[in-house]
Structure 1
Amino acid sequence: MISARYRARADAFEAKVANVRADQWGSQSPCARWTALEVVDHVIDMHGVMLGVQLPRTEDPLTDFREARRQVQEALDSDRARDEVSTPGGPMTLEDHVDQVVSDDLVLHGWDLARATGQDETIPPDDVDRLWAATRSVPPELMERFRTPGAFGPGIEVYGPEVPVAEDASAQDRLLGYVGRDPLSKNF
């Protein structure tokens, strides 16, 4: 199930990367300090973090993402998936760590990339529901740490400050606002 969820999310993210035009890589993303290219670079870097390796880089973000996802998928589909790894939240299996971090990143940063490059921003409803439940279950003191820049290391910001949305906002917009994105703003 975790492997299949990762595969589906990686397919969707890869399609977005493949659809970025050459002149869009410098476009500002909803992540204040990142361009479209930097969003993809971050996702690739996090794949390496999950595996405990420095992933090779080329001049092509699509090639680099494909290699990163290949390595993570290979790990998920092997006995290594059940290996225990150390995480900021305590020990867990590699597959759980991938599922809770990089797989979820593919969804949220897929939205960031889509917004930055004018692509379809729709997050699958099952992913919205799953991420909403996961983020809302985070204890307030830990969520405060997630929202504090640098709390998990230099330059690392898990979520931004909550962005208020209308009470009747869609589930996707409520999720995006909760994790610090303004689902209505095109100005960033």
Structure 2
Amino acid sequence: MALSDRPAERHRQVAGLFTDRVRGTRSWDAPAPVADWTARDVVRHLTEWCPGFLASGAGITLPQGPSVAEDPVAAWQVHCDGVQAVLDDPETAHRDFTNPHIGSLPLAAAIDRFYTTDVFMHTWDLSTATGQDDRLDPDFCAQLLGGMEQMEEVIRSSGQFGSRVEVPDGADAQTKLLGFIGRDPFWSQR
């Protein structure tokens, strides 16, 4: 299924796949392919950074569910539904997001560019940690990789991504994207 280029619909698709992986997780303590993270930490990361991002950049307060430590499935669902409600709100089309590092841009575009893409990439982390289907949309992988490669220096200096992991010549777009963001595409629980 190709991902939509409309922020609200793309979030619905990407977050829907992540939700499936959250619901399919049997061991929240399973190691994840991010150093020192478990499956629970993947969910914690997404549910904890986005509320501050939206509050500081757009004055939006997302609903709070239980903590990820208490109930990762419910914590994710409340968070995911809150972000979707923001994207589905007709007033969002008239709102801007402002951040000292990126300037101002439409709120839906900011959520799409920074948050939805993060959910997309962390879907692989959770899927891999928990032994679920880890395939991502290949066209979106190629699109993200193309955009990120153009700003590699900025990305690397942000500290948000690990060192590039070399991948075989002729690797598919997902493998290349994972290597670019510092993941070992061939990681497995050891």
Please indicate the TM-score interval, normalised by the length of the shorter structure: 0.7 to 0.9
Equivalent pair of 1:51/1:72 in contact (CA under 8 Å): no
Equivalent position of 1:2 in the other structure: 7
Q: Where do 1:156-175 residues align within 5 Å?
A: 158-175=160-177
Equivalent position of 1:155 in the other structure: none
Equivalent pair of 1:44/1:68 in contact (CA under 8 Å): yes
Matched, 1:141 2:153: yes
1:68 partner letter: H
| 1:139-183 residue CA offsets vs partner (Å, 9 max, x unmatched) | x4312313x3xxxxxxxxx21110011112121101100010000
Q: Where do 1:4-153 residues align within 5 Å?
A: 4-21=9-26, 24-52=27-55, 53=61, 55-58=63-66, 59-78=70-89, 79-87=91-99, 88-138=101-151, 140-146=152-158, 148=159
CA distance in 1: counterparts of 2:139 and 2:172, whole angstroms:
14
CA distance in 1: counterparts of 2:16 and 2:53, whole angstroms:
18
Q: 1:141–1:170: structure 2 CA closer, same or farther, 3 Å change rule?
A: closer
Q: Cα RMSD between the aligned structures?
A: 1.7
Stretch deviating more after TM superposition (174-183 or 162-171):
162-171
1:165 is paired with a residue of what secondary structure? coil
For residue 80 of structure 1, report the CA deviation from its aligned partner. 2.5
Equivalent pair of 1:50/1:102 in contact (CA under 8 Å): no
For residue 184 of structure 1, report the CA deviation from its aligned partner. 1.1
Equivalent position of 2:58 in the other structure: none
CA distance in 2: counterparts of 1:128 and 1:177, whole angstroms:
12
Q: Figure out how many residues of one structure are paired with residues of the other and give that number.
A: 175
For residue 130 of structure 1, report the CA deviation from its aligned partner. 2.1
Equivalent pair of 1:83/1:93 in contact (CA under 8 Å): yes
Runs of 4+ in 1 over 3 A off after TM superposition: none
- Aligned-residue identity in percent: 31
Query: 5+ residue gaps in structure 1?
Result: 149-157
For residue 55 of structure 1, report the CA deviation from its aligned partner. 5.0
Equivalent pair of 1:17/1:62 in contact (CA under 8 Å): yes
